[in-house]
A and B are shown apart, each in its own frame.
Chain A
Amino acid sequence: MIEFQVDRHSGVATYLQLVNQVKQALRLGVLEPGDRLPTARAVVEATAINPNTVLKAYRELEREGLVEPRPGQGTFVTRSLSRPEAAADSPLRADLVDWVTRAHAAGLGREDVLALVEAALAEAAARPRGAARPTRAGTERPSREDTT
């Protein structure tokens, strides 16, 4: 089960925060197909937001084909976003953890690391297609909300 966190000061619309948190959980394998999302009632009781905001987020996830409502039962995950390349024991992830450790050792903070990752993504996107294809994990570039 996922527990939502709402940040009033993030500048990201509240329903999008919920959408992004579900996607993040799907990427990390915290949520898997068949899992049930919390009811709107449970979410609003914990986060103190308008129930319509939760319903809007769930509708958006449904539109993207990630969840489906089952009448009388709740909203269920239908598709996973997790990739074996991103799993906890994957070489790509281990490389990145090494790299982040080196970055920290070199004195870079979280913001610096995030900025570097953004820059690297932009640089890779600008490369000729052939050069980039083998190493890129996905075709879709993460949006801003996903990375901050």
Chain B
Amino acid sequence: MNDPTAEPALRATAIGQRFRGNRALHDCDFELPAGRIAALVGPNGAGKSTLFHLMTGLLRPTTGEMRVFGAVPGTRAARTRTAFISQDKPLYPQFTVAEMLAVGRRLSPRHWDQAKAERIVGEGGISPKTRIGTLSGGKRTRVALALALGKQADLLLLDEPLADLDPLVRHEVTGLLMAEVADRGITVVISSHVLPELENVCDHVLLLQGGRIRLAGDTQDLREAYTRLTGRADPDTPDGLPPGADRAAVVHATTTGRHLSALLRNAPGTSLPSGVDEHWITRAPSLEEILLAHLRSAPRNAAHATEAAA
């Protein structure tokens, strides 16, 4: 599934995007290997949708370049391999479900899998004769997914696909996606501002904040690159951290009374931050803890704004 010599599914090099002088994205560099399920996370307004529009070719970057399996987004080579579901799931409300699928077939005649598209719709209890406009949010998502998966694309880009779904439908839709990944080994980028709903799903993460990539990498590598430290704050240091701890490795630290809680980057090649000894309670952080610590550290620590996983 992961041929290391293959082109990455996505490669962004020094991407910058301006809208009427406002910088929406800057210095974005990342690579997403094929076959990964990447969570694109970040607060609202971080630039997630802009990044999606660059991946699909709906936007051209002001500076830098984006590549989809080595091709320029929007070109024929890139378009046939990419499927995108935007936040508003654009479908024609007057069309029936069957007519909507016919549009999908006409747009990608060579690769279209009608049986699969019909199965996805049918398993959701949706009649082909129903008009799109009368469907619930969950069912509309299912139709959008049937269109995207019927296209047999290799890269699936999903902008907040789960946002307006109830927990049961969310579980169902995610299961559907994961089954497609198991079947075809496709690459998926799925955005959300709620990480926990993706924690069991993604094996790669892109954290976007204020138009910059704050973190990018394999989720397991990231978990092993940081340590969460808790314990009694050291009374002899102003920040409560152990006196020998490398302050440059601190992502975020808070003290509440005598209690210290901090996230530190591990020293290269080890599983502990430098200067932290066995007096401290240390454990591997969850992905969510790593992301939250980075988001919280944002305003002051602009110096190490971009960090790639070791």
Contacts and interface: CB of A to CB of B under 8 A. Distances in A.
Contacts of A53: 200
Contact of B37 (A6, A41, A50): A50
Interface stretch (B7-15, B133-141, B168-176): B168-176
Interface SS of chain A: helix, strand, loop or mixed?
Answer: helix
Interface string B163-187: 0000000011011101101110000
Nearest to A49: B200
A71 B79 CA distance: 35
Contact of B200 (A14, A40, A41): A14
A41 B179 contact: yes
Given A40-B182, A44-B181, A52 B203 contact: yes
B276 interface: no
Nearest to B181: A51
Contacts of A52: 203
B176 A45 contact: yes
Contact of B175 (A14, A40, A47, A54): A47
- Dominant SS among interface residues on chain B: helix
A48 interface: yes
Interface in A22-50: 39-41, 44-50
Nearest to A41: B182
Interface string B50-88: 000000000000000000000000000000000000000
Contacts of B182: 39-41, 44-45, 51, 54
B203 A48 contact: no
A47 B176 CA distance: 10
A8 B171 CA distance: 12
Nearest to B174: A48
A49 B201 contact: yes
A45 B199 contact: no
Interface residues of B, number: 17
Contacts of B24: none
User: Which of B172, B181, B200, B202 is packed against the most chain A CB atoms within 10 Å?
Assistant: B200
Contact of A8 (B172, B175, B196, B202): B196
A44 B178 CA distance: 6
Nearest to A14: B200
A45 B123 CA distance: 12
Contact of B199 (A8, A39, A47): A8
Given A8-B199, A52-B203, A46 B175 contact: yes
Nearest to A44: B178
Nearest to A51: B182
Contacts of B37: 50
Contacts of B178: 44-45, 48-51
Contacts of A44: 175, 178-179, 181-182
Contacts of A14: 200
A109 B304 CA distance: 51
A47 B171 CA distance: 8
Given A40-B182, A44-B181, A44-B182, A50 B175 contact: no
9 contacts: A8-B196, A8-B200, A41-B179, A44-B178, A44-B179, A45-B176, A49-B178, A50-B178, A50-B200
Given A6-B200, A44-B175, A54-B182, 8 more contacts: A8-B200, A14-B200, A45-B178, A45-B182, A48-B172, A48-B174, A50-B181, A50-B202
